[in-house]
Amino acid sequence: MTNWYWIRHGPTHLKSLVGWSDVDVDLSNINMLQRLDNFLPNNSIIVSSDLKRCIKTADEIQGLRERLPNNRNLREFNFGDWELKKSAKIAQEYPKLSKEYWTNPGDTAPPNGESWNEAAKRVNSEVDIINQKYKGRNIIAVGHFGVILTQLQRAAKIQSQSAISFQIDNLSVTHLEHLGDKHWRILGVNFTI
């Protein structure tokens, strides 16, 4: 069994869609970061997206844990032309497309961005590589809202429409267990320490 502890990065305080933009993170809640560090198993490997909001969050909880290189394939969804725009503005500019994107996530993509299915395929492929290379280990993955939802969808074997309804708070833990092949078990979702 390989245990995945998915941690959503610290807050950015932006009220817009933030995908591949390399924005900064607020890690001023030292007590919460310390509790999170204490909760996570010490005998773990830690990996993060290559965006600084994840890198800096991973740095804060790394401790003596083995660190893998920052991973571009664990980035948030690419929102393309919607990047850093507020949802209301997107809905105004792209009423049909934005409605389809949020109510029926799958193959619909923002202009110059990626769809749910494209992002999930990218992340799933990387998780498969890590599962194979580090089978039986504890993996702490510092990632993004959408990335964690793709893995929750995979583990629960649910549709993207159901997965997108879950809340994943900043600095929360979503604990998934890979049992081998395509078998997963969900041990906790959006757990705040």
Q: Mean pLDDT of all residues in the chain?
A: 96
- pTM, to two decimals: 0.95
- Up-side HSE of residue 193: CA atoms within 13 Å toward CB? 20
Is 44 inside any structural domain? Answer: yes
Q: Which domain holds residue 164?
A: 14-191
Is 4 inside any structural domain? Answer: no
Is 8 inside any structural domain? Answer: no
Per-residue pLDDT tens over the stretch 125-183 = 999 999 999 999 999 999 999 999 999 999 999 999 999 999 999 999 999 999 988 89
Is 179 inside any structural domain? Answer: yes
d(CA 48, CA 8): 10
Is 61 inside any structural domain? Answer: yes
Instruction: Report percent pLDDT > 70 for the chain.
Output: 100
- Up-side HSE of residue 189: CA atoms within 13 Å toward CB? 17
Is 5 inside any structural domain? Answer: no
Per-residue pLDDT tens over the stretch 47-69 = 999 999 999 999 999 988 999 99
What per-residue confidence (pLDDT) applies to 161? 92
Instruction: Report percent pLDDT > 90 for the chain.
Output: 96
What are the distances in angstroms from CA 64 to CA 16, 28, 106? Answer: 35, 21, 39
Own/partner long-range contacts of 156-164 (Cβ < 8 Å, ≥24 apart): 156/184, 156/186, 160/105, 160/106, 160/116, 160/117, 160/120, 161/103, 161/104, 161/105, 164/102, 164/105, 164/116
CATH of the domain at 102: 3.40.50.1240
User: For the chain, how many structural domains are there in total?
Assistant: 1
Amino acid identity of 69? P
DSSP-assigned beta bridge partners for residue 180: 183
Burial 80-89 (b: 16+ CB within 10 A, else e): eebbebeeee
Sign of the dihedral defined by the CA atoms of residues 88, 93, 102, 125, in that order: negative
